[in-house]
């Protein structure tokens, strides 16, 4: 029996050592934050850790935080729709005494109660990248106008397809009608001149030019699978809308395998450096560039200004939507539509 | 684990059963002795159904070739998963190993300028090392496979993101040899990719290893009754460790196929591979309780998912129905497994 008791002692010892260590670490942690008590704590909560868009946004925020002398704490969810992790991140930041929180909401509606609690606790909350629903739930929003981003590539595509009979494939993010997915998809169709019926719903259009919608998970693999399925459904596709540039790169692999790269035009949204290089290389016809680093930097500056004002909102706060801009990047400009060439895009792309 | 509650003879053929009482019982017995029969019937019925519903666009050789291409990564990772499931384990990290190996191949070849064959080899080796780590956690530290691989799933994913800085290597920058599995040759008038052929080769090779070698027999014995296997002189720890290493190496090879398929090297690829591989294994008729099943069932399982996905997409059905259907298939497959087991009860 003795040999059975021993492990229990060991387990107890390990447990108490663990608890001791945790206490030590937490006290160190609070000691550290106490040490830097003159620094304002600001949180950045992104949707994921792995998407380059959010990685660049985080890097931009860290750079700006160093300039402003702000203690930036970053958190991320585990997926495009992981509300739970974001709620926890907000709660932890409020508990840590943060003065401001920048968040890219994964679920623009479900996050509201957590944001309300934070604001009641005196924290300034700023939405980045996508607005909350309602937008007035936060103090300010710095985001791409995603509907506009979609409209720009839609208008460009319309001009490019003039004189041809368009056969359109749409490669979306998911079946869940995620806000940013809806805005870009419907914006594209509006720009292209399709009656979108319900502008807040993907896939309810009745337009013979549309071959079909497929979901991709917004990555290369999904883009390739979806494009193959749609090409198999209708080989006469000549225009492809993609939710983002990785999807476009995957779709291009399917197009190339089918030997149709001369006949098919691909448009996209994002403005990541690999995507802009694909514009330069003729893989993507046009893309709408967003500016995540600017979103983060402007959002952080707004929070810093707000805290200096002593709680009074500065000009940039106060429930406003600040459009951080969209630029159309293409090497084949069309008349009547402002655009930038890919060399400009390469100087301004984000990762 | 679960198989401890079953009598040691649970998976033996029903030689002592009384004569079958009617067609249903005969079918049940046939499905028990031939684990490939069930998934094969489902695959044929589904193909027939979609050929009628969708028409010639579904059954043309190009679409068949596309279905095989679309399931090749799931199929490869599914081989690794089958090996682990046959030992009454489960591996939640197979997808993460595959993506890590692909990023290692891409970074070494493109960013560090290593000769491509060496980069490829090192990527496959990394897969084996990751599998070996899982094996050590399971055999030496006696951590249940579910927990061990749940942990390494996060570890490998984080390493992938650290190493790649979340950045994708574009298709245009990837050397031809790395994307070679994605190229195709003409077989009987249809373009077939090298990776599709290699995947089928891998299935055949592993099927032989499982059925025709002592290693395969030991693996089945360990999965069916680990204690019994130990008592009969099998070094169960060593067998288990080797299974995890082989599974890791197969994931490393799947990484090469993944690059061939998507052209670029993306740290965000394959995020659903873990669950998809388990789905393919289960639909393929391999029992999650270990010991019973066939690796070729996994090939059929992934093809079944591919056929449903392609058929529903071609008929213009909402993508959510694809998700729904796969869920129903999984439940039906496990229910069928339980029903077939009754034959030996």
Same domain, A57 and A164: no
Long-range interactions of A108-114: CB distance < 8 A, separation 24+: A108/A132, A108/A133, A108/A179, A109/A133, A110/A83, A111/A83, A111/A86, A111/A87, A112/A137, A114/A86, A114/A87, A114/A90
What is the b/e burial string over B63-86, where b = at least 16 CB atoms within 10 angstroms of the residue's CB?
Answer: bbbbbbbbbbbbbbbbbbbbbbbb
In which domain, by residue range, is B305 found? Answer: 56-344
Tokens 């001009």 correspond to what residue? A159
- Phi and psi for B268 in degrees, rounded to 5? -100, 5
Closest Cα of chain B to A152: distance in Å?
25
Instruction: For residue B103, tell me if it sits in a domain.
Output: yes
Instruction: For residue B45, tell me if it sits in a domain.
Output: no
Q: What are the pLDDT digits (tens) for A79-124?
A: 777 888 999 999 999 988 999 999 999 888 889 999 999 999 999 9
Position B206 scores a pLDDT of 97
* Closest alpha carbon within chain B to A280: B172
Domain count, chain B: 1
First-residue to last-residue Cα distance in chain B:
18
Does the CB of A298 have a partner CB in chain B at under 8 Å? no
Instruction: For residue A12, tell me if it sits in a domain.
Output: no
Same domain, A312 and A332: no
Does the CB of A350 have a partner CB in chain B at under 8 Å? no
Same domain, A174 and A213: yes
Contacts of A221 in chain B (CB under 8 A): 73, 258, 261-262, 266, 269-270
Instruction: For residue B227, tell me if it sits in a domain.
Output: yes
In which domain, by residue range, is A69 found? Answer: 41-144+292-319
Q: Which of B123, B113, B135 is nearest to B240 (CA)?
A: B135
Rounded CA separation A49/A53 (Å): 9
Helix axes A245-257, A273-280, angle to 10 degrees: 40
Same domain, A296 and A202: no
Rounded CA separation A157/A237 (Å): 13
What region, left, alpha or beta, does residue A254 occupy, with left being phi > 0 and alpha being psi -120 to 50 degrees?
A: alpha
Rounded CA separation B293/B299 (Å): 12
Rounded CA separation B47/B305 (Å): 11
Closest Cα of chain B to A312: distance in Å?
38
Same domain, A283 and A299: no
- Which region among A57-71, A301-315, B55-69, B220-234 has the lowest average model confidence (pLDDT)? A301-315
Is residue B141 classed as helix, strand or coil in its secondary structure? coil
* Two structure tokens written together for B251: 């994931």
- Is the distance from CB of A271 to CB of A324 less than 8 angstroms? no
Does the CB of B263 have a partner CB in chain A at under 8 Å? yes
Contacts of B309 in chain A (CB under 8 A): 229
DSSP annotation string for B273-298: HHHHHHHHHHHTT--TTSS---HHHH
Contacts of B314 in chain A (CB under 8 A): 229, 232-233
Contacts of B167 in chain A (CB under 8 A): 52, 274, 351
Q: Which of A294, A296, A289, A272 is nearest to A58 (CA)?
A: A296
Does the CB of B172 have a partner CB in chain A at under 8 Å? yes
The interface residues of chain B toward chain A in range 63-82, judged by CB-CB distance below 8 A, are 63, 66, 69-70, 73
Contact A249 B166 (CB under 8 A): no
CA B18 to chain centre: 36
Q: Which residues pair with A76 in a beta bridge?
A: A46
Higher confidence at residue B241 or residue A49? B241
Same domain, A199 and A284: yes
Instruction: For residue A26, tell me if it sits in a domain.
Output: no
Does the CB of B150 have a partner CB in chain A at under 8 Å? no
Is residue A171 classed as helix, strand or coil in its secondary structure? strand
Contacts of A266 in chain B (CB under 8 A): none
Contacts of A224 in chain B (CB under 8 A): 261-263
Candidates A219, A234, A292: best to mutate against B (most CBs of B within 10 A) is A219
Same domain, A152 and A131: no
Q: Which of A150, A148, A141, A183 is nearest to A295 (CA)?
A: A141
Same domain, A246 and A259: yes
Task: Identify the H or E element spanning A71.
Answer: strand A71-76
DSSP annotation string for A99-154: SEEEE--SSTTTTHHHHHHHHHTT-EEEEEES--SSGGGSSEEEE--HHHHHHHHH
Position A31 scores a pLDDT of 39
Contact B263 A250 (CB under 8 A): yes
Q: Which residues pair with A287 in a beta bridge?
A: A268, A329
Is residue A193 classed as helix, strand or coil in its secondary structure? coil
* Two structure tokens written together for B8: 């040691």
Helix axes A220-233, B295-314, angle to 10 degrees: 60
- Is the distance from CB of A57 to CB of B171 less than 8 angstroms? no
ipTM of the prediction: 0.77
Is residue A92 classed as helix, strand or coil in its secondary structure? helix
Is residue B22 classed as helix, strand or coil in its secondary structure? coil
Contact A249 B171 (CB under 8 A): yes
Instruction: For residue B72, tell me if it sits in a domain.
Output: yes
Of A221, A224, A246, Cβ closest to residue B270? A221
Same domain, A223 and A259: yes
Task: Identify the H or E element spanning B210.
Answer: helix B194-212
Closest Cα of chain B to A277: distance in Å?
9
Instruction: For residue A5, tell me if it sits in a domain.
Output: no
- Phi and psi for A332 in degrees, rounded to 5? -125, 80
Does the CB of B258 have a partner CB in chain A at under 8 Å? yes
Instruction: For residue A98, tell me if it sits in a domain.
Output: yes
Position A147 scores a pLDDT of 94
* Closest alpha carbon within chain A to B61: A232
Instruction: For residue A297, tell me if it sits in a domain.
Output: yes
- Is the distance from CB of A217 to CB of A174 less than 8 angstroms? yes
Instruction: For residue B16, tell me if it sits in a domain.
Output: no
- Is the distance from CB of B136 to CB of B296 less than 8 angstroms? no
Position A8 scores a pLDDT of 53
Instruction: For residue B223, tell me if it sits in a domain.
Output: yes
Contacts of A49 in chain B (CB under 8 A): 161, 166
Contact B171 A257 (CB under 8 A): no
Tokens 């070494």 correspond to what residue? B108
Contacts of B171 in chain A (CB under 8 A): 249, 252-253
Same domain, A299 and A284: no
Of B168, B184, B316, Cβ closest to residue A212? B316
Same domain, A196 and A206: yes
Helix axes B214-224, B236-262, angle to 10 degrees: 110
Of B66, B182, B270, Cβ closest to residue A232? B66
- Which region among A17-26, A37-46, B187-196 has the lowest average model confidence (pLDDT)? A17-26
Position B87 scores a pLDDT of 94
pLDDT 10s per residue in chain B (345 long)?
344 433 444 444 444 445 546 778 888 788 777 888 889 999 999 999 999 998 888 988 889 999 999 999 999 999 999 999 999 999 999 999 999 999 999 999 999 999 999 999 999 999 999 999 999 999 999 999 999 999 999 999 999 988 998 888 988 899 999 999 999 898 888 889 999 999 999 999 999 999 999 999 999 999 988 899 999 999 999 999 999 999 999 999 999 999 999 999 988 887 789 999 999 999 999 988 877 889 999 999 999 999 999 998 888 887 788 889 889 988 988 888 888 877 655
Q: Is the pLDDT of residue A323 over 90?
A: no
Q: Give the domain CATH number at A338.
A: 3.40.50.2300
Q: Which residues pair with A43 in a beta bridge?
A: A73, A101
Largest CA distance in chain B: 68
Q: Is the pLDDT of residue A182 over 70?
A: yes
Q: Is the pLDDT of residue A262 over 60?
A: yes
Same domain, A222 and A112: no
Position A18 scores a pLDDT of 61
Helix axes B236-262, B94-106, angle to 10 degrees: 60
Instruction: For residue A27, tell me if it sits in a domain.
Output: no
Position A279 scores a pLDDT of 97
Candidates B154, B261, B319, B326: best to mutate against A (most CBs of A within 10 A) is B319
What is the b/e burial string over A23-49, where b = at least 16 CB atoms within 10 angstroms of the residue's CB?
Answer: eeeeeeeeeeeeeeeeebbbbbbbbbb
Instruction: For residue B12, tell me if it sits in a domain.
Output: no
Position A12 scores a pLDDT of 58
Instruction: For residue A194, tell me if it sits in a domain.
Output: yes
Of B165, B266, B319, Cβ closest to residue A246? B266
First-residue to last-residue Cα distance in chain A:
62
Instruction: For residue A19, tell me if it sits in a domain.
Output: no
Candidates A58, A226, A253, A342: best to mutate against B (most CBs of B within 10 A) is A253
Measure Cα distances from A239 to A160, A338, B74 in Å: 10, 21, 29
Domain count, chain A: 2
Contacts of A249 in chain B (CB under 8 A): 168, 170-171, 262-264
- Is the distance from CB of A156 to CB of A239 less than 8 angstroms? no
Q: Which of B322, B254, B266 is nearest to A229 (CA)?
A: B322
Q: Give the domain CATH number at B113.
A: 1.10.3470
Measured on CA atoms in the order B87, B89, B93, B99, is the torsion positive or negative? Answer: positive
Q: Which of B157, B139, B115, B343 is nearest to B267 (CA)?
A: B157
pTM of the complete model: 0.81
Is residue B169 classed as helix, strand or coil in its secondary structure? strand
Instruction: For residue B73, tell me if it sits in a domain.
Output: yes
Contacts of B159 in chain A (CB under 8 A): none
Does the CB of B197 have a partner CB in chain A at under 8 Å? no
């Amino acid at each position: 029996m003795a040999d059975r008791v021993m492990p229990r002692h060991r387990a107890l010892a390990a447990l108490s050592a663990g608890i001791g260590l945790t206490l030590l670490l937490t006290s160190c942690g609070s000691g550290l934050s106490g040490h830097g008590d003159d620094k304002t704590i600001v949180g950045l909560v992104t949707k994921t850790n792995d998407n380059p868009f959010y990685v660049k946004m985080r890097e931009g925020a860290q750079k700006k935080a160093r300039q402003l002398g702000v203690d930036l704490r970053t958190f991320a969810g585990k997926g495009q729709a992981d509300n739970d992790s974001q709620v926890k991140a907000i709660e932890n930041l409020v508990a840590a005494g943060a003065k401001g929180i920048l968040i890219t909401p994964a679920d623009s509606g479900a996050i509201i109660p957590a944001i309300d609690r934070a604001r009641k606790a005196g924290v300034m909350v700023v939405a980045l990248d996508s607005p909350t629903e309602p937008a007035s739930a936060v103090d300010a929003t710095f985001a791409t106008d995603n509907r506009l981003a979609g409209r720009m590539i839609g208008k460009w595509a319309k001009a490019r397809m003039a004189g041809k009979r368009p056969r359109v494939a749409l490669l979306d993010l998911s079946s869940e009608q995620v806000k940013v997915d809806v805005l870009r998809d419907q914006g594209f169709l509006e720009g292209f001149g399709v009656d979108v019926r319900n502008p807040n719903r993907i896939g309810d259009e009745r337009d013979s030019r549309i071959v079909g919608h497929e979901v991709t998970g917004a990555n290369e693999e999904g883009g390739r699978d979806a494009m193959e399925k749609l090409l198999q459904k209708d080989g006469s596709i000549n225009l492809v809308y993609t939710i983002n540039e990785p999807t476009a790169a995957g779709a291009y692999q399917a197009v190339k395998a089918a030997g149709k790269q001369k006949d098919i035009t691909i448009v996209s949204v994002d403005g990541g450096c690999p995507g802009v290089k694909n514009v330069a290389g003729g893989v993507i016809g046009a893309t709408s560039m967003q500016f995540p680093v600017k979103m983060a930097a402007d959002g952080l500056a707004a929070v810093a200004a707000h805290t200096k004002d002593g709680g009074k909102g500065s000009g940039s706060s106060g429930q406003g939507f600040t459009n951080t801009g969209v630029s159309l990047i293409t090497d084949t400009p069309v008349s009547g539509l402002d655009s930038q060439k890919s060399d400009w895009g390469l100087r301004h792309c984000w990762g | 684990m679960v198989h401890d509650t079953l009598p040691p003879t649970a998976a033996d053929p029903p030689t002592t059963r009384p004569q079958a009482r009617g067609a249903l019982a005969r079918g049940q017995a046939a499905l028990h002795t031939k684990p490939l029969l069930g998934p094969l019937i489902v695959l044929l019925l589904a193909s027939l159904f979609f050929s009628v519903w969708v028409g010639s666009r579904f059954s043309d050789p190009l679409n068949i070739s596309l279905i095989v291409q679309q399931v090749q990564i799931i199929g490869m990772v599914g081989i690794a998963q089958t090996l682990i499931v046959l030992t009454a384990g489960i591996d939640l990290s197979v997808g993460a190993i595959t993506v890590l190996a692909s990023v290692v191949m891409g970074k070494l070849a493109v960013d560090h300028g290593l000769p491509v064959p060496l980069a490829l080899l090192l990527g496959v080796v990394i897969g084996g090392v990751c599998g070996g780590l899982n094996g050590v956690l399971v055999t030496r530290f006696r951590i249940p496979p579910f927990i061990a691989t749940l942990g390494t799933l996060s570890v490998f994913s984080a390493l992938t993101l650290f190493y790649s800085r979340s950045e994708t290597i574009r298709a245009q920058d990837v050397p031809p040899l790395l994307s070679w599995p994605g190229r195709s040759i003409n077989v009987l008038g249809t373009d077939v990719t090298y990776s599709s052929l290699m995947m089928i080769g891998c299935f055949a090779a592993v099927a032989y290893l499982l059925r025709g070698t002592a290693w395969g027999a030991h693996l089945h014995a360990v999965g069916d009754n680990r204690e019994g296997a130990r008592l009969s002189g099998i070094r169960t720890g060593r067998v288990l460790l080797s299974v995890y290493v082989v599974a890791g190496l197969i994931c490393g090879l799947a990484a090469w196929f993944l690059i061939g398929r998507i052209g670029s090297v993306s740290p965000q690829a394959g995020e659903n591979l873990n669950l998809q591989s388990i789905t393919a294994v289960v639909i393929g008729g391999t029992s999650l309780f270990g010991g019973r099943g066939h690796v070729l069932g996994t090939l059929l399982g992934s093809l079944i998912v591919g056929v449903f996905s392609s058929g529903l997409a071609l008929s213009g059905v909402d993508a959510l129905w694809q998700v729904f259907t796969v869920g129903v298939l999984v439940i039906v497959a496990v229910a069928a497994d339980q029903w077939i087991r009754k034959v030996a009860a």
